[in-house]
Copies of this chain bind each other. A is one copy, B any other.
Amino acid sequence: MAARPAHTSASQIPTMADVAQLAGVSHQTVSRVLNDQPNVRAETRARILDAIRELGYRPNSAARQLVTKRSQTLGVVSFDTTLYGPASMLYGIEQAARDADYFISIVSLRAMNRGSVLEAVDRLRDQAVEGVVVIAPQTSAAGVLAQAAAGVPLVGAGCGPAEQVPMVAIDQREGAAMATRHLLDLGHRTVHHVAGPVGWLDASGRAEGWRAELERAGRPVPPPLRGDWSARSGYAAGRALAADPDVTAIFCANDHMALGLLRAFHEAGRQVPAEVSVVGFDDIPESSYFTPPLSTVRQDFSELGRRSLELLIGRLEHPAPPPAEHVLITPDLIVRASARPPA
């Protein structure tokens, strides 16, 4: 009723001692209630709970952390949370963390290089995180992970292979092979590829899967074009490819580039899918509304995030020796209107 109950201490915010005094017990009993320990009489517990409510008491996390040496916080290092993939992974991570009762602290990378990753992990360590998830899909990150993992439990999400570091990734090669095979099965003689930028694992994985599938089928392997994931670069690749009458099927390393490519073909007057078939990768929410709706390979980023956090928490609870566990998730082919048998 009154504005604010008076506390013992002069300080504004109530401490455990204030609660104890109000409930007429020792602070230790309050602590027991807060930590769900047995051997507290039900009536005492209720009295303490009342006192907590009345005072609006909140445990001081720093004090608890100081003595338990646990921060209940996990760190996430991510490259560019604006991109669809990382953003979705982060979302999955956050959900999983909350379910497991951990807080999430994020640091994004300024630049993609070894020092930057190390610095980010360091920053997180200064904050006493119990473990770290690194979302860094560049090849350059692969080497540095093992180094960063010294000193703090760490898992990679969609990162490059590193023996020492546990990780979860989507099987890019298999996804690319599925896309390529789909086009081949439709009857195309071969499949052209618009690859992602050098230095990205996803880019090289997809290019490898595409190439391997072509070779397995004994088809010619045309030189891949290279984009930078953006629609702009897909558009540029599309202009080049549209000028080549031999091109009948194209596998784009991501949906954004496919969008730009679609636009270039439209401008060039080459019909998709009547004359040329296109398959993308990622299955961004918009891709079913492209013109035409894009066949693509769906990656479940959110699950990737969730799984990597689960892996981290598993490691936290049961530290395991190397070699570290690697989880591979298989993506799904989504068939829409942008690919059909050649004319």
Contact = CB atoms under 8 A, between A and B. Distances in A.
Interface of A: 58-63, 65-66, 71-73, 80-82, 84, 87-88, 90-91, 94-95, 98, 103-108, 123, 125-128, 230-232, 234-235, 256, 259-260, 262-263, 266, 285-286, 288-291, 293, 302
A231 B81 contact: no
A61 B291 contact: no
Contacts of A82: 84, 87-88, 91, 302
Contacts of A302: 82
B108 A94 contact: yes
A58 B126 contact: yes
Given A230-B285, A256-B286, A286-B286, 9 more contacts: A59-B126, A60-B128, A62-B128, A65-B65, A66-B66, A95-B108, A103-B107, A263-B291, A263-B293
A66 B73 contact: no
A125 B61 CA distance: 10
A65 B84 CA distance: 36
Contacts of A84: 82
A62 B293 CA distance: 53
Contact of A91 (B80, B105, B125): B80
Given A63-B66, A105-B73, A263 B285 contact: no
A159 to B, nearest CB: 20
Nearest to A88: B82
A60 B84 CA distance: 36
Contact of A65 (B62, B95, B259, B288): B62
A127, A256, A266 interface centre (most CB from chain B within 10 Å): A127
B289 A291 contact: no
Contacts of A262: 291
Given A104-B106, A230-B285, A263-B291, A94 B66 contact: no
A73 B285 CA distance: 33
Contact of A290 (B58, B95, B123, B263): B263
26 contacts: A60-B66, A60-B128, A61-B127, A61-B128, A62-B63, A62-B65, A62-B128, A63-B66, A65-B65, A66-B66, A81-B91, A82-B84, A82-B302, A87-B87, A103-B107, A105-B105, A230-B285, A231-B285, A232-B289, A235-B289, A256-B285, A256-B286, A259-B286, A259-B289, A259-B290, A262-B291
Contact of A286 (B61, B66, B231): B231
A62 B71 contact: yes
A234 B289 CA distance: 9
A289 B266 contact: no
A103 B76 CA distance: 12
B106 A106 contact: yes
Contacts of A59: 126
A81 to B, nearest CB: 5
A106 B90 CA distance: 10
A108 B98 CA distance: 9
Nearest to A95: B108
Nearest to A101: B123
Nearest to A261: B289
